[in-house]
Amino acid sequence: MALSLAGCGSDKSGESNSLKQAGTTTTARTLSPVASSAPAAAPIQPPANAPTSATAAKKTAAPAGAATTCGDFRDLTDDAERQVIDQVLAANPGSFLDGSPNVALGTAKLACLATAYANTPVAVAIRVAPK
């Protein structure tokens, strides 16, 4: 019904009709890229003392088992990290993480990121063993 009423208006002047039409038409605009006058940035070079290999080789076994420090823990493969956590939980029965090896592993990964814990045993860092 609204469409039929819109077409029933009287056309008093051609000028007002052309204004209505001009307001309802759309024109397409094309955008052209703007050239920049700024010079291109030089590529970023690594520091001179940066290691040459992309990643350091991870250790596949923990040297100290349940007494592994966070510094050593960070250098282990995923399987070796899981073995350390299993050993830590076995050496500390009854801890609040007992029976939750995945939670203990995640906690150890987060806690051992802190450089202050580099020489701290993983069991102490995740608070299943006293200091």
Q: What is the pLDDT of residues 60-94, one digit of tens each?
A: 766 677 889 999 999 999 999 999 999 999 999 99
User: What's the mean pLDDT in 5-18?
Assistant: 54
How buried is 130 (Cβ within 10 angstroms: 0-12 exposed, 13-18 middle, 19+ buried)? exposed
φ and ψ at residue 48, rounded to 5 degrees:
-65, -30
The answer on pLDDT for 35 being more than 70 is no
Q: In sequence order, what are the residues at sequence separation of 6 or more whose Cβ sits closer than 8 angstroms to the Cβ of residue 2?
A: none
> Mean of the per-residue pLDDT values for the chain?
77
Bigger pLDDT: 55 vs 100: 100
User: Which pLDDT value is given to residue 66?
Assistant: 81
User: What's the mean pLDDT in 118-126?
Assistant: 94
The answer on pLDDT for 96 being more than 80 is yes
List the structure tokens of 11. Answer: 């056309």
